[in-house]
Amino acid sequence: MANSDALDAAFADGPAYVPYLVVGDPDYESSKAYVEALDRGGADVIELGLPFSEPIAEGSTIQEALVRSLDAGMTPDRFFAFAEELEVDAALVCMTYYNLIYQYGKGEGPRPFVERAAAAGIQGLVVPDLPAEEADPLREACDEFGLDLVFIVAPTTRGDRLDRMMANVSGYVYVQARLGTTGARDDVSDQTTASLDRLSGYDVPKAVGFGISTGDHAERIVAGGADGIIVGSALVDVVAEGVAADLSTAEVADRLEALSRELKGGAERGHRSRTGTVESA
Amino acid sequence: MANSDALDAAFADGPAYVPYLVVGDPDYESSKAYVEALDRGGADVIELGLPFSEPIAEGSTIQEALVRSLDAGMTPDRFFAFAEELEVDAALVCMTYYNLIYQYGKGEGPRPFVERAAAAGIQGLVVPDLPAEEADPLREACDEFGLDLVFIVAPTTRGDRLDRMMANVSGYVYVQARLGTTGARDDVSDQTTASLDRLSGYDVPKAVGFGISTGDHAERIVAGGADGIIVGSALVDVVAEGVAADLSTAEVADRLEALSRELKGGAERGHRSRTGTVESA
Amino acid sequence: MSETDTRTTEETETARRPGRERGREDGKFGRYGGQYVPEALMPAIEELTDAYERYVLDNEDGFMDEFRERLADFGGRPTPLQRADRLSERYDTEVYLKREDLLHGGAHKLNNALGQVLLAKYMGKERIIAETGAGQHGTATAMAAAHLDMPCTIYMGERDINRQRPNVFRMKLNGSEVKPVTTGRGTLKEAISETMRDWAETVEDTHYVIGSIVGPHPFPVMVRDFQAVISEEAREQAREKTGGLPTDVVACAGGGSNTMGTFAHFVDDEDVALHAVEAGGSTLEVDEEAGVAPNSASLFAGEEGVLHGARTKLLQDSDGQIMESHSVSSGLDYAGVGPELAYLVDEGRVDPVAVDDDAALEGFHRLSNTEGIIPALETAHAFGYLEEHHEDLGERVVVNVSGRGDKDLDAAIEETDQRDVANAPDMSMFTGGM
Amino acid sequence: MSETDTRTTEETETARRPGRERGREDGKFGRYGGQYVPEALMPAIEELTDAYERYVLDNEDGFMDEFRERLADFGGRPTPLQRADRLSERYDTEVYLKREDLLHGGAHKLNNALGQVLLAKYMGKERIIAETGAGQHGTATAMAAAHLDMPCTIYMGERDINRQRPNVFRMKLNGSEVKPVTTGRGTLKEAISETMRDWAETVEDTHYVIGSIVGPHPFPVMVRDFQAVISEEAREQAREKTGGLPTDVVACAGGGSNTMGTFAHFVDDEDVALHAVEAGGSTLEVDEEAGVAPNSASLFAGEEGVLHGARTKLLQDSDGQIMESHSVSSGLDYAGVGPELAYLVDEGRVDPVAVDDDAALEGFHRLSNTEGIIPALETAHAFGYLEEHHEDLGERVVVNVSGRGDKDLDAAIEETDQRDVANAPDMSMFTGGM
Ligand SMILES: Cc1ncc(COP(=O)(O)O)c(C=O)c1O
Ligand SMILES: Cc1ncc(COP(=O)(O)O)c(C=O)c1O
């Protein structure tokens, strides 16, 4: 199902905890400490955000993180260096916008980016502004270098579009829990359950994201049938608070690790409730 | 030729000196002293300006005098009281705009104004915004009360218009020396000679005005054939200087008297040169 | 043609003429009108009268054809007659808007300015002068003068210059000279007097473009004839769109040029009611002592008199001195009104109504937020009238949108801020000016 | 209709279609165009594509009839094609002006805004959102929304809000909510991103009115089709007035909506040269380090990339980050350009030219003082081009006057003041602002 063994493995036993952080937020070194904290906190896959100047799919939390990273000098090349330097167990997925991928190729399409990503130890890509219809060249490059190409399924995705996407996806499918952009929310949406139902016929891990911020959410999502949870804004919020309150890198890393444990724990509780005794969600 | 004996007399022997001042400029009492100074200086006819708020025929010198007078509270009734109180030998002509004359009648046309003017000792009217075509009612009232109606002939007035005007005029005709509005100028215009030529066939005194400011001007104008000179802005300037320099009423009156003597003297020299030996102008 | 000749044929001629041609022979509208001007201006007035008769009335040298072509190409005519869906619903009557706000320059003023500048060109004049109050006539004249390559000087009261700086800038951009008038209060009536003074000295090569249906004959008829294109189009458009004539026609009135332009072709349609909406200002009461009328409702509250060359209705004190008028809209802020309107009001043909500043401001906001058209504050009076009197109107009302409100944004902020305007948007970020 | 189906018929269909219909099937213009949007927006995009095909292309429920009627009545179409007498003389060539400045709101923008708001109504949407830079698209959308009684929210960068306060006020007067965008530099591109975010959450009841021929399919074709009325009229008017087609058509290009609107019906007339005039800003040099392009000449100097949902030519650094663009005219200040223009430039059909700030300002003053038309600073670039390149043009040139300059008076004062503009009027009384 997946090009990369690492992603296969991540979803192989139990629910996957898939945290997201913006690489280079608020600076290169702190960011490395933060990503490694996620890993210690139990991450199965880590989505590394490579910042683009016009992030049309992000909410304000992540957008501000992208700006912090760009202001601190993040570039695709530094991003790859970062990935190479990381010491983590989790599988790595790069999340970015298509223009950076395309432009990296200097006229040769997306292949050079994918080649470089593979060399840096990246196992998959999420490109929120690349629809399945436009994805052939990237899909081919991913196949060539053994990367997975993750697509995002929205609550509104149905019919032909869903089929086409599911025919192209690999690694896991990113199930968007609600309409809108990224951002931590307090509740879990009904749309999630409906989406998971719609996807039940497809044999690919389903990771649910958008708005998950606590262990409780995570538990309910996984209990509802998700194979993994993706958490972005809630973690980026921790980084932002660290910037605002001028906390030490170690302190922020500790908080990220703690929140990760909570989320991962929630996901595991949810998994047990689904596979073992059914607790009320 | 004239309804009023006084105006007839003014032009009867020698050139007439016809000065103009705004009544009430800069205040009622000073203004009386100034008009009486003109009289002492040799005035044959005095044109008394009754200020109107929209004096479309005046240049800025006289316009500002009108504003000073209005600001000091001049009204038609105070104007008539002023005329009654004056102790002068010269004949009195009222110069104003038609709306004041008309409005004084409270719906009965110009007659009440003329009646009141006659009672106040006014012998004639000059109404710069009343063309001969619209003058019938005023003409009739003037005839009834023995006032003269003076018309202004412009350098451009010819043909039918000139005929109609000359058929209506009485007392004297006001020959406008040049195009434009009132205001003292340094030279004497060729247009004056041309106008006097055009008027030579009409048997009515021709008083030339607009821009006369010195005895020399006066001399040349009269030498050129005028029966009188009308002087406004040059005298109003003296009043304005008095206001600006805060001179005493007596001082301003003296200057007005002196300037009048100069103008009158110039007019008489011009008359001698025309009737006696011809001096080069 | 001598004036005595004209006068003898006058009564019969005028009687036979349709109402929209009234006054063409001699500038008389019953007791109103005439030519009360200094003798020095008479030749210019006669020359202009002659040119008016030849070029405008008789289309000599194809003047009117060129005028209409330039109005179309440069000005953007015809302007639409638009159904105002939301106002129609609000008032439960068919409301149609004549969109003079879409004319080049943003107001009906260009119809007249272009006509007169073109006429000056046909007359061989080499220079244009004009007065302006709000700056609308000045900008229209400056545009027309640039278009027709005529040097142009605009007189504008100093106070108005300070109130209307964007319009001053527009005139200068169009290459006109703007001369500040510092006499008196520095507003429109002083600017008119000053322009007449300039004209008296320069008549030979200069044409004075008067900005409304005021002044001596032939200005009132000529300006009306140039503006009559509004009603000529509107009448035809109303018939096409609605199959008939409107029951009511509404236009604001300052000097009255857009008013008569909007009424002219309806004057003979006796079933069409004509409403001239004047600026009621803050109150219709007059302060005789100070010589101030806090309004400019000369049709409604004025009395007969002579101003700026014509006999008409005026705001004046009991001595006949002209009053200082007032309105939230500087373009209505004039103490007189066109003689033809004075006549039509006396005849009972035109219904004069006053709308106060508050109602005008509400009208401004109402048209802006319900119809997506930001009107000039002058125009807004007509919509104030609609709100107050719609129950008295028939089932098909045409309102002239005489101009757009871009020039009035600052004034609208300031005036809205001073009162409690129920339908204004949140103004907090604008108070203190832009 | 599934997209796979569409794609199979694409090549043949497109080949048979005249150029002005290019891209209708799939939003592809050669390598440019497409739908690079988050999956959450896809249903809205598909719903819109369906509505575009039914209402716009097939005139279902008489949509296009109503659109054209409202454009005429509310918008003031047709706008004139005017001969510019003095420019024609200056350049010794026939210069014709397509007068979009006379459209309601003062720019071509209403053609599109009215079309989209009406379409949203036909689609049963209950709310309108839009982004705006200079404020022209925002004001046009606010007007259209008021006219059609649709609640409307406009996103505008905070910096733009401060530069364009009169336009902000106009939007509020028309009843729209104006939401400041504080992210990034607070200009147009941030406002677009922010509006897309709103849309992603509200797609079900909300329509996003994009302001130019940019964004994902169907926006580029739809906006072009709404704006194509410009060239449809101009082509016909040119034939009527001059008996033939122009040799050259000139339009300024920001996103390119007025450009493609002006070119669309001429694209198949191979003898008509098409000139797209971009903002050259202060220089065409780029500061890679700072990520700043002191211009917005994306056709002329940009490189292929993906921005705001479409593949097109962009101003970007070597990593693919979008540059900060710059121009004296905020309406041209955008780092991308419509994919159709990018395609037509690559094909050699459209000639891309850059005109710098100085030349644009001179063009602004030139049109103002020689033709009596104060253009938008955007539009002024086209006249800067005319001055610099008139010798390369044929004997009959049509220039689109995309908008009027009333919105730019403050900017014109400031910018004129900063340089030595040979043909500017005496500015002394205005420096320091109005
Ligand atoms: C938009 C607008 N409407 C109306 C008027 C009033 O003038 P009139 O009554 O002469 O049409 C003006 C004058 O400036 C104006 O600008
Ligand atoms: C007057 C005017 N012209 C041109 C433009 C550029 O936009 P586009 O290239 O999309 O027509 C704008 C944008 O605001 C504008 O206001």
Q: Domain ranges in chain C?
A: 42-74+109-223, 81-105+228-430
Partner residue facing C74 (CB), from D82, D142, D172: D82
How far is residue C192's CA from residue D364's CA, in Å, rounded to a whole number? 31
Q: How many CB atoms lie within 10 A of CB A25?
A: 28
Q: What is the DSSP letter of D330?
A: G
Mutate to test the pocket of ligand 2, among D109, D259, D325, D330 (most ligand atoms within 8 A of CB): D109
How far is residue D192's CA from residue D4's CA, in Å, rounded to a whole number? 29
Residues 55-114 on D with a CB inside 8 Å of C are 72-74, 76, 79-83, 85-86, 99, 101-104, 106
Tell whether the model's pLDDT for residue D13 goes beyond 50. no
CA distance to C282, C353, D17, D27, D39, per residue, from D22 (Å): 59, 56, 7, 8, 25
Alpha helices in C123-152 (DSSP H): 136-147
Sign of CA dihedral C264, C266, C269, C275: negative
Using an 8 Å Cβ cutoff, are B36 and B88 in contact?
yes
* Residue D279 near chain C (CB below 8 Å): no
- Residue C259 Cβ contacting ligand 1 at under 6 Å: yes
Ligand nearest to the CA of D261: 2
Chain C residues in contact with B134 (beta carbon < 8 A): 34-36
Helix, strand, or coil (residue C268): coil
- Residue that the structure tokens 């007359």 belong to: C123
Residue type at C212 in one-letter notation: S
8 Å CB contact of A58 and D197: yes
pLDDT of residue C3: 38
Mean pLDDT of all residues in A176-205:
76
Reported pTM? 0.93
pLDDT of residue B17: 97
- List residues of C with catalytic annotation: 109, 131, 402
- Residue D331 Cβ contacting ligand 2 at under 6 Å: yes
Tell whether the model's pLDDT for residue D343 goes beyond 70. yes
For residue D338, give the ligand 2 atom closest to its CA. 10
How far is residue C216's CA from residue C214's CA, in Å, rounded to a whole number? 7
How far is residue C24's CA from residue C218's CA, in Å, rounded to a whole number? 8
Tell whether the model's pLDDT for residue D377 goes beyond 90. yes
Which of the residues in chain C have pLDDT under 50? Answer: 1-16
How far is residue D430's CA from residue D370's CA, in Å, rounded to a whole number? 21
Mutate to test the pocket of ligand 1, among C99, C101, C103, C109 (most ligand atoms within 8 A of CB): C109
Q: What is the pLDDT of residues B202-221, one digit of tens each?
A: 989 999 998 899 999 999 99
* Element housing A143 (H / E): helix A136-145
pLDDT of residue A253: 98
8 Å CB contact of D43 and A97: no
Chain D residues in contact with A165 (beta carbon < 8 A): 39
Q: How far is the CA of C98 from the centre of ligand 1 (A)?
A: 14
What is the chain D residue with the closest CA to C369? D174
How far is residue D434's CA from residue D418's CA, in Å, rounded to a whole number? 16
Chain D residues in contact with C81 (beta carbon < 8 A): 73
Helix, strand, or coil (residue D404): strand
DSSP strand pairing (D32-33 vs D28-29)? antiparallel
Is-catalytic flag, B58? yes
Residues 104-133 on B with a CB inside 8 Å of C are 104, 128-131, 133
Mean residue pLDDT across chain A: 91
Identify the band that residue D8 occupies on the pLDDT scale cut at 50, 70 and 90. Answer: very low
- Residue D252 Cβ contacting ligand 2 at under 6 Å: yes
For residue C379, give the ligand 1 atom closest to its CA. 3
pLDDT of residue C310: 96
CATH topology of domain C81-105+228-430: Rossmann fold (3.40.50)
* Residue D363 near chain C (CB below 8 Å): no
Q: What is the pLDDT of residues B236-255, one digit of tens each?
A: 999 999 999 999 999 999 99
Q: What is the pLDDT of residues D141-166, one digit of tens each?
A: 999 999 999 999 999 999 888 878 88
Q: How far is the CA of D183 from the centre of ligand 2 (A)?
A: 23
How far is residue B215's CA from residue D22's CA, in Å, rounded to a whole number? 88
8 Å CB contact of C372 and D146: yes
Share of chain A above pLDDT 70, in %: 94
- Which residues does C contribute to its contact with B (CB < 8 Å)? 2-4, 34-40, 42-43, 46, 183-184, 189, 192-193, 196-197, 200-204, 291, 304-309, 314, 316, 318-322
Using an 8 Å Cβ cutoff, are B231 and B209 in contact?
yes
Instruction: Return the half-sphere exposure (C-beta side, CA atoms, 13 A cut-off) of residue C366.
Output: 24
The token pair that represents B108 in the structure block: 């009965």
pLDDT of residue B259: 98
Supply angle C-alpha D20, D24, D29, rounded to 5: 75
Tell whether the model's pLDDT for residue B105 goes beyond 60. yes
Rounded to the nearest angstrom, the minimum Cα separation between D153 and chain C is 14
Q: What is the pLDDT of residues A254-267, one digit of tens each?
A: 999 999 999 999 99
Using an 8 Å Cβ cutoff, are B143 and B125 in contact?
no
Helix, strand, or coil (residue A21): strand
Q: What is the DSSP letter of D135?
A: S
pLDDT of residue B126: 97
For residue C404, give the ligand 1 atom closest to its CA. 1
How far is residue D427's CA from residue D413's CA, in Å, rounded to a whole number? 7
Among B96, B156, B233, the strongest candidate for a mutation testing the C interface, having the largest count of C CBs within 10 A, is: B156
Partner residue facing D321 (CB), from A53, A151, A157: A53
How far is residue C171's CA from residue C155's CA, in Å, rounded to a whole number? 11
Identify the band that residue B5 occupies on the pLDDT scale cut at 50, 70 and 90. Answer: confident
8 Å CB contact of D197 and A75: no
Using an 8 Å Cβ cutoff, are D335 and D316 in contact?
yes
Rounded to the nearest angstrom, the minimum Cα separation between C179 and chain B is 14
Q: When comparing pLDDT for A140 and D183, which is higher?
A: A140
Mean residue pLDDT across chain D: 92
Q: What is the DSSP letter of C426?
A: P
For residue D254, give the ligand 2 atom closest to its CA. 9
Is-catalytic flag, B85? no
Mark C9-19 as b/e (b = at least 16 C-beta within 10 Å).
eeeeebeeeeb
Mean pLDDT of all residues in A264-280:
81
Tell whether the model's pLDDT for residue A186 goes beyond 60. no
- Residue C256 Cβ contacting ligand 1 at under 6 Å: yes
Q: When comparing pLDDT for B8 and B277, which is higher?
A: B8
Identify the band that residue D7 occupies on the pLDDT scale cut at 50, 70 and 90. Answer: very low
How far is residue D207's CA from residue D48's CA, in Å, rounded to a whole number? 9
For residue D214, give the ligand 2 atom closest to its CA. 10
Using an 8 Å Cβ cutoff, are C27 and C53 in contact?
no
The token pair that represents B241 in the structure block: 């200087």
Q: How many CB atoms lie within 10 A of CB C71?
A: 22
pLDDT of residue D193: 85
Share of chain D above pLDDT 70, in %: 95
pLDDT of residue A156: 83
Query: Is domain D42-74+109-223 classified as CATH 3.20.20.210?
Result: no
Residue type at B62 in one-letter notation: I
The secondary structure of A105-133 as a DSSP string is TTTSTTHHHHHHHHHTT--EEE-TT--GG
Q: What is the DSSP letter of A281?
A: -
pLDDT of residue A133: 86
| Catalytic pick among B47, B219, B257, B268 | B47
How far is residue D63's CA from residue D68's CA, in Å, rounded to a whole number? 9
> How is domain A5-271 classified at the architecture level of CATH?
Alpha-Beta Barrel (3.20)
Q: What is the DSSP letter of C52?
A: I
Chain C residues in contact with B181 (beta carbon < 8 A): 38, 40, 197, 200-201
pLDDT of residue C433: 61
Q: When comparing pLDDT for B180 and C139, which is higher?
A: C139
Reported ipTM: 0.92
Nearest protein CA to atom 13 of ligand 2, as residue: D331
8 Å CB contact of D370 and C169: no
8 Å CB contact of D197 and A64: no
* Residue B200 near chain C (CB below 8 Å): no
